[in-house]
Structure 1
Amino acid sequence: MKSLKIRIIGGSLGGLFAGILLQRDGHDVKIYERSSSGLAGRGAGLVGQRELFQILRMIGCEHVARIGVVAKERIYFNKDGGVAELLATPQTQISWDVLYATVLSHLAPNSYLTGHPVDQLIETAQGVRLTFADGNTEDADLVIGADGLGSVVRSLLNEQSRNEYAGYVAWRGLIPEAALPTEASILLDRFAFYVARGIHVLGYLVPGQQGELETGKRRYNWVWYRPVLQRDLRALFTGAEGRVYEHSLPRGELADERLQALRRDAVSALPPQFALAVETEPQPSIQGIFDYEAEHMVSSRLALLGDSAFVVRPHTAMGVSKAAGDAIALRDALSGSDDLAEALAQYQRQRLPVGREIAAYGRRLGASAL
């Protein structure tokens, strides 16, 4: 296909993957990220899947898949902290921070712009006009929505564009390995779980923020899934200064009295090792768990990618790989046709069934988790 002016909304890994592949095919690509500070430092660890390894080979940074911490086994705790079950299932947690920074470095200079929220899109037969929050506009041949859970693109393609709350949230902590008390050292170097009625908590080591793998320089990541009524989400996602967030509560926004309540709940409900891990985190975050399945991923000049099309539950550990698969499929469709509308239709035919399958898998895992 001839060179297109492509604009990508959303600068996380899915947007980066698509941007790099399409730039290398000769397209004029820019990525607009709403956050003014970018996304560096926001991740923990992720489990690599086939599509992720494939796209890393394609863009020449397969080596970052080796920057990870190996969990030698899985252990399941009893409430008193005793080990109920041990499974020899090694698994590597790749550094999200190193992956993101390395992939970003492969994008062409000056093509990743932060602090550029898009307020409106207007699609015509000739192209797409983007209107930014500051009032500036730009025209493009193709706009890719890689803007995740709060996508502004999906509503142009789908009558139903609202995320559906799954009935529970994930409290998250990410602490220096050295800060974890010695009484909780059994958590290190393994995937640890505690599962009971209404309770699902897990934890594992991830590399340090700069990819450090040495003992003592890594980080411990814990996740505690907890049921919450939908009517209580607004209060849950209200920050210490009163700001209300739509889908989550970021680090640093939890009021101290709520932090103390969380720690008391952990002592009451969790094995002592996990309670210590929760206590050690000074700034936990809260992630709402939502579902979304797009009926349409494309129009004649718009395409959805990653979570903007299918929000899948974190139990799948497939969000990044799904986005990578979308990026590869979109690039292949565009390179294989001279007709933009037909290329986008081909992309949708290939990826709609994949997204639906992963979303259904995530719901099954979620049902068994709580």
Structure 2
Amino acid sequence: MSPRILIVGGSIGGLFAAVLLERAGFDVTVTERSVHGLEGRGAGLVAQREVFAMLREVGIEHVARVGVTAQERIYLDREGGIIHRQHMPQTQLSWDVLFRTFRDLVPDDRYRKGLRAVNVARESDGVRVRFADGSEERADLVIGADGVGSTIRGAVVGPDSVPEYVGYATWRGLVPEAQVPPEAARQLFERFAFYEMPGSHILGYLVPGPDGSTAVGQRRYNWVWYRRYAPDALDAVLTDVDGGRRPFSLAPGRVRPETADVMRADAARLLPPAFAAVVKAEPKPFIHAIFDYAPVHMVADRIALLGDAAFVARPHTAMGVAKAAGDAFALRDALRDVSGLDAALATYEAERLPAGRAIVTYGQQLGRSLG
């Protein structure tokens, strides 16, 4: 009998694993803590080879064509002049389309929303996961794909296994193309744009619309502003509209208005005019604090970690989705090809531990000017 697999975490990484494992003949169920689902939360992503391999494997290579291509890279000075340009065509795929496509490949009765895992217990015949609503699920194998704030991680590497804040955060915005002021659009559109200053930098590029549209007028401008925050200052910016201090990020609409106003005022004072304009045009900016984490183990007994639940790498690498795809491939291959569940999980860990450590180290190198 095929082992029953429970994947905790229904974002991209969990979906990659679910689709591959189901097609390999395993009995797979996914749980996701979000009640309303995850669509609409993504921007653009730079696809690496693992993502293209995943699309080929599943037979949906057409998803790679749902993207916006930036024809060149430009670097601005404080006054908005272009001080360097480089011909470097690069296509940003749609996270939303990628998520929606893989979500549609998992039957609804195998993707259960509104279940937040709170406890993991090993038993003689498997693993039992308890959820916040009091329900429980038993499985022969539990895969933790529940992201940077993973609950499952503690069952693998201990309760103190938390990511380390690196000293800076990213403010982000996704502005509908039509709402970008014309002067800013003329300079920023169809390009990857950058502005660098001591301890901070901002970048931006066009991405598909929320429905995956790449038609002119239907796209969005994605900007990302890296800024340093001391721990006490981070506490303030991560305090949400209800007064709660969130551990990792605030979603659109959850940032306090006064916090967003300070950020916009700083943008007007510090950034080139085009970037200041797109920051101002975003009514609901959101923020992610940046963390590093590299576990000693990815596997303990019948529990395995995948994606950001395992290794947390800085976004400079643009490898978050690729890392999850690589983990999903390696886990599928090990479970399919290696006899015995324990031996298969050991094979998975041996392959992906070095890969994850290398990505985290690479991110640390890229972020040295900020941290």
**How far 1:241 sits from its partner (Å)?**
2.4
| 1:345-366 Cα shifts (integer Å, max 9, x gaps) | 0000000000000000000111
**How far 1:338 sits from its partner (Å)?**
2.3
Which residue does 1:94 correspond to in 2?
93
> Partner letter of residue 200 of structure 1?
H
> Partner letter of residue 136 of structure 1?
S
SS at match of 1:81: coil
Structure 1 Cα separation of the partners of residues 268 and 227 of structure 2: 15
Which residue does 1:27 correspond to in 2?
26
SS at match of 2:109: coil
Which residue does 1:145 correspond to in 2?
144
Structure 1 Cα separation of the partners of residues 259 and 7 of structure 2: 38
Structure 2 Cα separation of the partners of residues 267 and 309 of structure 1: 38
| 1:238-263 Cα shifts (integer Å, max 9, x gaps) | 11221221111111122222222211
With 133-142 and 70-79 compared, the bigger mean Cα shift is at: 133-142
Which residue does 1:368 correspond to in 2?
369
Structure 2 Cα separation of the partners of residues 171 and 197 of structure 1: 17
Q: Is the 8 A contact 1:20 1:108 kept in 2?
A: no
Which residue does 1:334 correspond to in 2?
335
Which residue does 2:182 correspond to in 1?
182
Which residue does 1:191 correspond to in 2?
192
Which portions of structure 1, spanning 4 or more consecutive aligned residues, are displaced by more than 4 angstroms? none
With 254-263 and 24-33 compared, the bigger mean Cα shift is at: 254-263
SS at match of 1:289: strand
Which residue does 1:308 correspond to in 2?
309
Is structure 2 residue 60 aligned with structure 1 residue 61?
A: yes
Normalised to the residue count of structure 1, the TM-score between the two structures is 0.98
Which residue does 2:125 correspond to in 1?
126
| 1:44-84 Cα shifts (integer Å, max 9, x gaps) | 00000011111111112111011000000000000000001
With 47-56 and 247-256 compared, the bigger mean Cα shift is at: 247-256
Which residue does 1:7 correspond to in 2?
6
Which residue does 1:163 correspond to in 2?
163
**How far 1:234 sits from its partner (Å)?**
1.8
Please tell me the root mean square deviation across aligned C-alpha atoms, in Å.
Answer: 1.1
Which residue does 1:74 correspond to in 2?
73
Which residue does 1:257 correspond to in 2?
258
Q: Is the 8 A contact 1:195 1:369 kept in 2?
A: no
With 111-120 and 256-265 compared, the bigger mean Cα shift is at: 256-265
Which residue does 1:227 correspond to in 2?
228
Unmatched 5+ stretches in structure 1: none
Q: Is the 8 A contact 1:293 1:356 kept in 2?
A: yes
Structure 2 Cα separation of the partners of residues 329 and 110 of structure 1: 26
Distance 1:109 1:37, change over 3 A: closer
**How far 1:181 sits from its partner (Å)?**
0.2
With 59-68 and 187-196 compared, the bigger mean Cα shift is at: 59-68
Q: Is the 8 A contact 2:199 2:369 kept in 1?
A: no
Q: Is the 8 A contact 1:71 1:91 kept in 2?
A: yes
With 53-62 and 351-360 compared, the bigger mean Cα shift is at: 53-62
Which residue does 1:297 correspond to in 2?
298
With 150-159 and 39-48 compared, the bigger mean Cα shift is at: 150-159
Structure 2 Cα separation of the partners of residues 39 and 255 of structure 1: 22
> Partner letter of residue 7 of structure 1?
L
> Partner letter of residue 113 of structure 1?
R
Distance 1:369 1:92, change over 3 A: farther
SS at match of 1:32: strand
Which residue does 1:52 correspond to in 2?
51
SS at match of 1:110: helix
> Partner letter of residue 67 of structure 1?
V
**How far 1:152 sits from its partner (Å)?**
0.8
Normalised to the residue count of structure 2, the TM-score between the two structures is 0.97
> Partner letter of residue 250 of structure 2?
L
Q: Is the 8 A contact 1:14 1:324 kept in 2?
A: yes
Structure 1 Cα separation of the partners of residues 103 and 59 of structure 2: 12
> Partner letter of residue 64 of structure 2?
A
With 230-239 and 311-320 compared, the bigger mean Cα shift is at: 230-239
| 1:121-142 Cα shifts (integer Å, max 9, x gaps) | 1113420011111111221100
Which residue does 1:324 correspond to in 2?
325
Identity between Structure 1 and Structure 2 (%):
53
SS at match of 1:312: coil
Q: Is the 8 A contact 2:237 2:259 kept in 1?
A: no
**How far 1:270 sits from its partner (Å)?**
0.4
Q: How many residues align?
A: 369
| 1:208-233 Cα shifts (integer Å, max 9, x gaps) | 11111111110000000000001222
**How far 1:369 sits from its partner (Å)?**
4.9
| 1:253-303 Cα shifts (integer Å, max 9, x gaps) | 222222222111011110010000000000100100001111100022010
Q: Is the 8 A contact 1:199 1:225 kept in 2?
A: yes
